[in-house]
Amino acid sequence: MNILQFILNNPLIDIPANIQNIGLALISIFLTAVIFIYTVEKKESQNWDTLIILKKVINVRDLLWSFSLFFIPSFFWGLHYILDTTIIISTIVGIFFVLIIFKRIYNWIIDIEIEADVHTSDSKGGYRQTLRNSFLEELKDQEIKTKVWSTTWSKEKTNTFQETRLLEIFFKQLLILFETQNWNVLRDRLLHFNVNIKNRNFKNWNNVKIIVDNILKINFKEYTFTEESLTENGYIDSSQLITEILNSTIRLSLESGSHFILFNSIDTFIKTKNDSAYKDWLFSNIYTTLFDTISESESSYVIWQTFPDDWKVKARELERGGHTLSAILFKYYINWMRESQTFETGWNKKLDNITKNLLIDIYPNWWAELLNLVFRSYGDNRAKTLLDYPPNFGRLGRLYSFSSNGDTITDTESIENQIDTLMRSEKENTIILFNEIFLNNFISKEEIQKIIEDLKGSDLPDQAPRKDLLLSILNAVITG
């Protein structure tokens, strides 16, 4: 108290001038810091970080209030002892709050340098990302929020950690928009994301999981949604965009080598749903992208190693019936085959790839001949058409692996016997699957018998090997 009285009563100390000098010094430091923020390297910054700086770092309202605490009261110095004391306290409080703002600015500047290197996808994030999260959650104006998301997704390269956290917030908000049936806003958000989806980092498994898990949640909500709003344009557009995003995610994940997390996420999600109709509906929307991308990929072999076993078709399991995932995939395999099969003479590598790896226990060559029998257009003589126009797939055989006991002769005989057994089993499975699905539904035994008779009656020496192959296959169908 004595020190305060000394300061107040000392005529040599010009307190108002000193207060204003302190204020001017703080303003000078403040302006320098702000200029540095806006001129520092921005490759890790979002385009809308300016809004966060103004609202949460500098906070113009707090800044003006803080400076006013030691600028305005100083003009009333000397009116009264108690007022002078209040002015000094006000100045101290103002300086305290300005220092808090400086601390926020310091945290922001420091985080610019460390964000890309220190924060990982498993961390909670630094100062800047924390402010971004709270800003996006607190922002109420949907139009501004849509613009913010538009600029976010239009950025070609985003720090992986930032992108992961932003994706979490984005899809959380999308789910809310769907629940509240805000179709027009939902459509706009989906559109901006879909247009710039190639900018996302699909090599990052966390990103892939977030996108797949959440778009499937929205997809399922769309499927189960009531009929009341199905005629609204915003809903119809949103529905189409959801499907587009899901297909783009599948394609980009497979192309980026994130097939394991993609398949795992889809498989885990659909196994939580007991609605077989939904599973059918889901694959009806994605099978073309799924088969096209896998069959065209240079990493096709690796992708098939992570393809879920429950999705692969096994003839005897399919014969037992049930609306299993493999049955659904088989149905859409047939659809895809009919869409992609042109019956040209050139090798259909894509169809060969999917057939061999999806239908894991059939004999590819026999299966191709049987589908050629069912789906190829033919003239007056069906047998002649089959002879003249073999299928353009089924040329890829299977690779078999066996263990050795060290005896070359014994090993050779054993391997030959095992290969013969496996091929015989695959041929049996092929006939089982064909008879279960196609016989009497697409072609009758009587029609097949007629083809057999016509083949036997044909006399074309140069086509004898092909004739024998067709006879062996068709006889197996009749007797199977």
Same domain, 266 and 406: no
Same domain, 268 and 284: no
127 lies in a domain?
no
Q: How confident is the model at residue 343 (pLDDT cuts 50, 70, 90)?
A: low
Same domain, 328 and 428: yes
Distances (CA, A) of 111 to 48, 125, 126: 16, 10, 7
Distances (CA, A) of 81 to 5, 75, 84, 92: 9, 14, 5, 17
Q: How confident is the model at residue 226 (pLDDT cuts 50, 70, 90)?
A: low
Nearest of 60, 129, 67, 141 to residue 99 by alpha carbon: 67
pLDDT tens for each residue of 446-480: 999 999 998 888 877 677 888 999 999 999 999 87
134 lies in a domain?
no
Long-range contacts, stretch 365-369, CB < 8 angstroms, 24+ apart: 365/394, 365/395, 365/397, 366/394, 366/426, 366/427, 366/430, 366/431, 366/473, 366/476, 367/394, 367/430, 367/433, 367/434, 368/393, 368/394, 368/395, 369/394, 369/469, 369/470, 369/473
Same domain, 300 and 214: no
Integer Cα distance of 260 and 266 in angstroms: 10
Q: Which residues pair with 359 in a beta bridge?
A: 313
Same domain, 247 and 368: no
125 lies in a domain?
no
pLDDT at 12 (0 to 100):
44
Which residue range forms the structural domain that includes residue 192? 139-272
Residues 6+ apart with CB under 8 A from 360: 312, 313, 314
128 lies in a domain?
no
Domain tally for the chain? Answer: 3
pLDDT tens for each residue of 250-296: 999 999 999 999 999 999 999 999 888 899 999 999 999 999 999 99
Residue 234, amino acid:
G
pLDDT at 79 (0 to 100):
65
pLDDT at 227 (0 to 100):
47
DSSP one-letter code for 182: -
Query: Residues 136-149, buried b or exposed e (16+ Cβ, 10 A)?
Result: beeeeeeeebeebb
Same domain, 403 and 309: yes
Ranges 18-32, 69-83, 276-290, 345-359, most confident: 276-290
Integer Cα distance of 98 and 76 in angstroms: 21
Q: Of the residues 213, 240, 272, which one is the last residue of a structural domain?
A: 272
pLDDT at 408 over 80: no
Same domain, 252 and 289: no
Nearest of 336, 314, 341, 308 to residue 327 by alpha carbon: 314
Same domain, 184 and 322: no
pLDDT tens for each residue of 299-317: 999 999 999 999 999 988 8
Lowest mean pLDDT among 188-192, 341-345, 371-375, 456-460: 341-345
Compute how many other C-beta atoms are within 10 angstroms of the C-beta atom of residue 448: 18
pLDDT at 289 (0 to 100):
96
354 lies in a domain?
yes
131 lies in a domain?
no
pLDDT at 242 over 60: yes
Q: Are 171 and 219 in contact (CB under 8 A)?
A: no
Q: Are 215 and 242 in contact (CB under 8 A)?
A: yes
259 lies in a domain?
yes
408 vs 476, more confident: 476
- The stretch 185-214 carries a mean pLDDT of 92
Q: Of the residues 71, 89, 118, which one is the last residue of a structural domain?
A: 118
Q: Where are the alpha helices (DSSP H) in 180-204?
A: 183-195
Average pLDDT, the chain: 81
Using CB atoms within 10 Å of the CB of residue 315, give its burial: 0 to 12 exposed, 13 to 18 middle, 19+ buried: buried
Q: How confident is the model at residue 342 (pLDDT cuts 50, 70, 90)?
A: low
Integer Cα distance of 72 and 318 in angstroms: 84
129 lies in a domain?
no
Rg of the chain's alpha carbons, rounded to an integer? 36
6 vs 79, more confident: 79
Same domain, 145 and 105: no
Lowest mean pLDDT among 104-113, 208-217, 244-253: 104-113
% the chain with pLDDT above 90: 35
pLDDT at 188 (0 to 100):
92
Q: Of the residues 272, 307, 337, which one is the last residue of a structural domain?
A: 272
Same domain, 169 and 25: no
Query: What's the angle, vertex CA 33, arms to CA 30 and CA 39, rounded to 5?
Result: 140
Same domain, 267 and 280: no
Same domain, 290 and 230: no
